[in-house]
Structure 1
Amino acid sequence: MPAHVIVIAGPTAVGKSATADCLAQRWGTEVLSADAMQVYTGMDIGTAKTPVDERPVPLRLVDIVSPTTAYSAALYQHDARALIDEKHQRGEVALMCGGTGLYINAALDDMRFPSGEFEDERRLAYQELASSMGADYMHRLLAQRDPKSAEVIHPHNVRRVIRALEMADDGLCYADQKAGFSTPKECYPSMRFCLSMNREELYRRIDTRVDVMIELGLVDEVKHLLEMGLQCDSTASQAIGYKEILQYLDGELSLGEAIELIKRGSRRYAKRQLSWFRRDARYHWIEVDGLSASDTADEVQRLIEGAA
């Protein structure tokens, strides 16, 4: 194996999971999920999480936090690297699969995050300062402490300004890290593959997937999450499929309107995913139109062997 980590990425509904499962079975390993919403317990239908009794191989980095708990790329970095290191110590292949490009980069590249996480005291203090003094004041504060980062962040993007201030607290520069995204340094040697297909067929598969989610009980799943304490302003509640059903349950949308918004949001998300992966020249692209998961796995292995 020429790389320490193999990545199977791509847009939603393209067939990543089936391909990764096939490879994992061949290599005798597990699949490490790289999906920002599959980390949450109880969010199964709307994230297209493979049911436990249908998984041909173990799926890790799913169901690790409650939807009421804040999670981040920084936390994912810690959790994913621990598993990657564990795989290497056992002599196993580390196989990642998912569509959250930021999480993949966080795990594999030299990305550094501010030490504070979500609603810690430092962030709350900055948020309170922003509320009392305004966005322009916060941007001026950043300009004093980190002029380079202030130049690349819009004054009204308070959330990013606060992030840059937190990074400055930790001796990091937001602008330098942002510039590094174009030529990232890898912490683990990797081979990264992105699956793609005809756009019309991909959108048809997305629409069908949404219809199946509704049939499987997405509305009841969201109701249960609300009963468990899900807050409408939490990260989990903003996931495509969940925020629209929440609007339906609040009477803001009809069910039909919610379904159409989920489909539209999912198609737009797929487009953004493809754009993200295209910006990274390290990805090997595989067109999967007409290919089975086994066929796609064969192509991945062929490319790996060719790189050896």
Structure 2
Amino acid sequence: MVSPGAGLSAVAIVGPTAVGKSDVADRLAARLSSEVLSCDAMQIYRGMDIGTAKMAPDECTAPLRLVDIVEPGVAYSAALYQADARAHVERLLGSGCLPVFCGGTGLYLKAALDEMDFPSGELEDDRRAGYQELAERIGEEELHALLAERDPESAAVIHPHNVRRVIRALEMHDDGISYAQQKSQFSVPREHYHALWFGLTRNREVLYERINLRVDLMFEQGLVDEVRGLMDQGLGDALTSMQAIGYKEIIDAFNGVMSMDEARELIKMRSRRYAKRQLSWFKRDDRIVWFDMDEFTIDKVVEDILHRIEAA
């Protein structure tokens, strides 16, 4: 049993899709006699298994949490993830275990581990509907002017045409939170939990080939049938969950927008682009210690992390 240093509250395994995060996190959590807390904005949905590359229970050595927690038609957010994730962190720390986060949704991870406030209107409510109605009535420019009057600092960093973000800033101002100040925290994070962050990467071409092979495997495993089943439940493409890569494209194919072969290639392309965006997001965080998985085995990465945990 590895004993973490005083004050260490979590470990995070991050990186782009298909790089190998799940295997490292699962093995690490098992060595720590702990649990993996998934940090994936789409793995939270029940029934979305193949297209999100969710680890099956019989593939896991350590318990996997924060997957299958809501139905695909239910609204979810970083604010809700923050509450759910922190409840698990407190439970694990209370039992003497070190939580192991794993995932590629950077915003969710920061919400859980760093100081980040959310407006009470994070989900659809009467207040948000009111601001949306106001925007339609007075127009984008006037809505932005209203924000400038109430919170000039936040208005200065939001484009007037970005109505969704203007509304969010207004909601945050109503709750006594500054959008601009929170935005600045992304570059200078303030820890809520002291965590060690580890990133996995690979040669770009190797990573892209892994992504392509993963998509082909998803089709072999029955991704098309999985999407058809969700659609049969009345889960249409307007839902956030159905906008996930691998689902939206197949829905479009069902609707005649493209062929299924074209959908497969589009999923590969969008997955590669998503991986590039994930790398860009995480590379901005200087706390992350990176491992090149073309040079390290899973066991070597886990041993290195365990030594760093002991030394923390």
2:232 to 215, 227, 231: 227
The CA deviation at 1:303 is 3.2
User: Is the 8 Å Cα contact of residues 76 and 103 (structure 1) preserved in structure 2?
Assistant: yes
Corresponding position of 2:9: 4
The CA deviation at 1:67 is 0.6
Does 2:45 match 1:40? yes
The CA deviation at 1:181 is 1.2
Corresponding position of 1:122: 127
Could you tell me how far apart the structure 1 residues matched to 2:88 and 2:309 are? 22
Could you tell me how far apart the structure 2 residues matched to 1:281 and 1:36 are? 23
1:87 to 89, 92, 95: 92
Question: Normalising to structure 1: TM-score of the pair?
Answer: 0.97
Could you tell me how far apart the structure 2 residues matched to 1:299 and 1:211 are? 33
Q: CA RMSD in A?
A: 1.1
Corresponding position of 1:134: 139
- SS where residue 152 of structure 1 aligns? coil
Does 2:211 match 1:170? no
- SS where residue 156 of structure 2 aligns? helix
Could you tell me how far apart the structure 1 residues matched to 2:262 and 2:195 are? 42
Could you tell me how far apart the structure 2 residues matched to 1:270 and 1:302 are? 29
Could you tell me how far apart the structure 1 residues matched to 2:269 and 2:137 are? 37
2:105 to 83, 88, 100: 100
Structure 1, residues 107-129: CA drift from partner, whole Å, max 9, x if none?
01110000113221111111122
Corresponding position of 2:28: 23
Residues 102-251 of structure 1 aligned to structure 2 (within 5 Å) = 102-251=107-256
1:69 to 55, 67, 74: 74
The CA deviation at 1:238 is 0.9
Q: Structure 1: which amino acid aligns with 2:215?
A: V
Could you tell me how far apart the structure 1 residues matched to 2:138 and 2:259 are? 40
Could you tell me how far apart the structure 2 residues matched to 1:300 and 1:158 are? 43
Q: Structure 1: which amino acid aligns with 2:302?
A: A
1:274–1:301 CA distance, 2 compared to 1 (3 A)? same
The CA deviation at 1:292 is 2.9
Structure 1, residues 162-219: CA drift from partner, whole Å, max 9, x if none?
1000001101110011011111110111000000111100000000000001111111
Question: Normalising to structure 2: TM-score of the pair?
Answer: 0.96
- Structure 2 stretches lacking a partner, 5+ long: none
Q: Structure 1: which amino acid aligns with 2:86?
A: R
Could you tell me how far apart the structure 2 residues matched to 1:205 and 1:161 are? 39
Question: Percent of counterpart pairs with the same letter?
Answer: 59
Could you tell me how far apart the structure 2 residues matched to 1:152 and 1:263 are? 34
Could you tell me how far apart the structure 2 residues matched to 1:131 and 1:266 are? 35
User: Is the 8 Å Cα contact of residues 109 and 188 (structure 1) preserved in structure 2?
Assistant: yes
Could you tell me how far apart the structure 1 residues matched to 2:52 and 2:104 are? 11
Deviates more, 1:197-206 or 1:48-57: 48-57
- Structure 1 stretches lacking a partner, 5+ long: none
- SS where residue 189 of structure 2 aligns? coil
The CA deviation at 1:136 is 1.2
Q: Structure 2: which amino acid aligns with 1:234?
A: L
